[in-house]
Structure 1
Amino acid sequence: MRRFLVLFFLIAPSICIAKAERVISLAPHTTELAYAAGLGDKLVAVSDYSDYPPQAKKLERVANYQGIKVERILELQPDLVIVWRSGNSPKDIEKLKQFGIHLFYSDPQTLEDIALDIEKLSTYSEFPQIGYKAAQNFKKQLITIKAKYQKQHQVRYFYQLSSTPLMTVSQGKWPSEIFSFCGGENIFSDAGAPYPQVSVEQIIVRNPEVIFTSKQSPGQAEVWQQWGNHIEAIKRQQVLPLDSNILSRPTPRVITSIEQICHYFSSIQQKT
């Protein structure tokens, strides 16, 4: 009897969670996570730039970089709103809380957090096995890639987040986790700001072996050619454009970027 009571209290929280019938997502990555968790058919509205999977493009937009359309969200009467803790306006989120809207906070900082968010969101789905399977598959893919590239040595890299101003990401802030997973050493890991503005002079001094740019901004790669005599990555022609739409979103799709980066680091090490 005692063992039964212990088991009951362990699983009771998941039993008591009501299944969501009307869901709103307030960030592109949370939209993807909702679909992965089996809640795609329950979405009634999403944020701007929610473009994956393709069916998300047809949904109403109720959030963007300027804020959240609180009044419209109330009119849609959702029973679950998925918010981005570090991206959505804290004031707007507080308003939703005051109106009694049930909120799910998503802010993955590690690869493991992606699977965890999917598993948690799946408890709101009529078919939680969909999300559970997606989370387990993601974990298995990570294990497979890690095993394949486990002998890699660290490679110094610079990730160009933007050109004007020239910005990057410090260690511990997304997507630095992806590069670290593949054996990357962030040349700005000691930066005080999460997304610091840097100078070309600083990059020359720290001398990265690889520079990552964005496919969505082709000019990023071209601008580095003038520094070919000063930066190792340029000398060796090791400037790799990545799909920033995938890289910037902590969702299962980052597996594509992880495989690409790990393979690239591996090929560099084979040359040396």
Structure 2
Amino acid sequence: MLIKEIESFIEEDLGYDDVSCTLVPDRPAEAVIFTKEDCTVSGITEAAAICSYLGVKAETDLKDGSRLKAGDIIFRLRGGAVSILRAERLVLNFLGHLSGIATQTQACVDIVRRHSETTRVACTRKTTPGIRKFEKKAVIAGGGDSHRFNLSDAVMIKDNHIKLMGIEAAIRAARKSSFTRKIEVEVESAGDAVLAAGMGADIIMLDNMKPEEIRNTLGILEEKGLRNSVLIEASGGISRENLEQYAKTGVDVISMGSLIHKSRWIDISLEIVDSGN
């Protein structure tokens, strides 16, 4: 986490006149941060950085991706009472939100692993503006794949690109951008999947296809000798509830926006355990 990011977050939370935290005597204090429910934790680095900036010593043996039980301690804190209180909400917000994403991702990865050892579970660019990198790190902590971080990482030819210029012209234009970037093409039919694979696309996203349609498309690619030359990604309408059916199709990647935008915050608390009295 960059210093400017920490300062921006702190400025947002403290405002111009912190009348709440400064009510207490600023003497040495100790506190613990703990989870109230089972989870896969994420946000360790971010929480520690915030504490450090405010002069609070945060001790932990955990790392992002650690699986915790309700009641487990995440951090032991030592520092001035005012600083601990100022760090509290910001630290808990990061830990609660990012651990929720990591926990959701881990649950989905566990489902997929029961049917495939190689299929990746990935997130999308459906992220909260300003904190994408933290949310995608949480997906990684849960065992998922970050997909592309931004539009510069890879060329993705989506439905609106195709409506504007067609698959063939779009792929030809993408090839001119850079030899280092992979080209992914979003398709809605087996015919377009064959066309994109035949033109040398690196990744084909089967958009909003049902599991049976996906299996049929994979079979056609196999018959034409194109299956092994391309990665196949399934996306659209996939949730934790129907994930098992997609895991059985044999695709290489399952991408789910819900890893982030439908994750539930984990209940994490801070409690003063020594007030220096």
**TM tier, shorter chain?**
under 0.3
Query: Of the two structures, which has the highest relative contact order with CA contacts closer than 8 Å and spacing of 6 or more?
Result: 2
The structure whose Rg is larger is 2
Higher strand share: 2
Q: TM-score, normalising length from structure 1?
A: 0.27
Higher helix share: 1
